[in-house]
Copies of this chain bind each other. A is one copy, B any other.
Amino acid sequence: MLQELRAALGDAAVITDPDILAGHARDEAALCEAGTPRVLVRPSDTSGVQAVVRIAAAHGVPVVPQGARTGLAGAANAVDGCILLSTQALDRILEIDPANRIAVVQPGVVNADISKATAPHGLRYAPDPGSWESSTIGGNVATNAGGMCCVKYGVTTEYVLGLEVVLADGEVLRCGRRTVKGVAGYDLVRLFTGSEGTLGVITEITVRLQPIPREALSIAAVFPSTSAAGAAVSAITAAGLVPSLLELIDQVHLRAIEEYRPMGLDTDAAALLLAASDSGVPEDLDRIARLCTEAGATEVHQATDALEADMLLSARRMALPAVERLGAVIVDDMSVPRSRLAEALDGVAAAAERHKVVIGVIAHAGDGNLHPNILVDRSDPASVAAGQAAFDDIMRLAAELGGTCTGEHGVGLLKRDWLAAEIGPTGLRVQQAIKDALDPAGLFNPGKVLR
């Protein structure tokens, strides 16, 4: 098989060095198992991907597609004996069409590089996962990534118009369109989006661009309790306001950030709520600020300029790396109806208390999407077990509150059982029927999403 791969891709694109393989065996999901890959391949065009898939199929060897491995659910983790198919060498922006506000890109292009390339045309690619400066668009599409702008602008799937995908038999499927609207046949684009590498290998993506919004005005509101911050979020939503950002940072994260990069954050606050508005209507932000005060904010600070607004945003972006310095982090991801944000925050705190673990929460609060980050000591089995018990409690809590086990990180290996519990036997059966229809031999990313 290795010979066939080398003949198809050239020696340099077929890597068997054990250290490199070990370095590529997993994504950023802590505590997810990872197998030992047989080989890492880095095709640089669609026909190279086709060749890999055909060789893999002929040998009955599983294919695990990988982008930048910044995923948080283990979807890119190796399975034993697999071919790791990295899309990072498929890294070209093929076309920018400003008149139609689209770009055609290969999957290995880094998210932020799309907006950099389209900025001269006054356009951006909106979805901005935390990893936007390192994650690839292919991985973003495979996981249907979210981000901070989603509260106003929606998630990845809203920005994917067309895909080229290499199927399990090595054929190339082109689906979707270059037009704004289109309803020709089943929506295959959105079926592949979020399928976590289990249905095919994405080799080209047509994304929708958006005019760069007006400059956002930002505030930071300090709350004495997380539930007061939750109440503020509910009030903002209920008032019909549409902030362009509405993020919550709890005390655990505030302290971790301040320790990592001192910036004068109030580390006695229970929670900081960051809100921004790019509506162009200044009163909108004033109303958001007033609602924060009414909900109990002890201080509402308005950023005086773009620089300060950026600083607030970068504090939020620093939250995960800052907390990761404190220990191993089980990053969780739950989404609840927006009205139940305060209950979710209380429930997470109760789980931390119950299992004697530290859990910090950052949340895309405006979307009801929380990331409880559970700190564990990897060298202490009791600590890991306590963290996992808290994780399970949080997943149960998501279900009890009418929410979902994953808002934006995906299922991967981490949440297969929680997916099964959430969608039930009929849901699982339909999911499996679709998997079987597109990948009858189970070639792509076996054991991910569905067991």
A interface with B by C-beta (< 8 Å): 97-102, 122-123, 143-144, 146, 150-151, 154-155, 157-158, 167, 171-175, 177-188, 190-191, 193-195, 199, 211-212, 234, 237-238, 240-242, 279-281, 335-339, 364, 367-369, 402-411, 415, 418-419, 422-424, 426-427, 430-431, 433-438, 449-450
Contact = CB atoms under 8 A, between A and B. Distances in A.
Given A173-B427, A188-B434, 7 more contacts: A97-B337, A146-B183, A173-B426, A174-B426, A184-B406, A185-B411, A280-B280
A209 to B, nearest CB: 10
Given A97-B337, A100-B338, A190-B187, A430 B173 contact: yes
Contacts of A426: 167, 171-174
Contacts of A241: 211
Nearest to A102: B337
Contacts of A335: 177, 179-182
Contacts of A431: 185-186, 188
Contacts of A97: 337, 339
Q: How many identical subunits does the complex contain? A: 2
Contact of A407 (B181, B337, B408): B181
Contact of A100 (B144, B339, B411, B415): B339
19 contacts: A99-B338, A101-B237, A102-B337, A123-B240, A177-B404, A179-B338, A179-B368, A179-B407, A180-B338, A181-B407, A182-B406, A185-B411, A185-B450, A186-B195, A187-B190, A187-B194, A190-B190, A211-B241, A434-B434
B407 A368 contact: no
A364 B238 contact: no
Given A98-B238, A187-B193, A181 B364 contact: yes
A311 B422 CA distance: 48
Contacts of A173: 426-427, 430
A181 B408 contact: yes
Contact of A337 (B178, B188, B212): B178
A401 to B, nearest CB: 9
Contacts of A157: 187, 190
A140 B55 CA distance: 44
A187 to B, nearest CB: 5
Contacts of A186: 191, 194-195, 199, 431, 434-435, 449
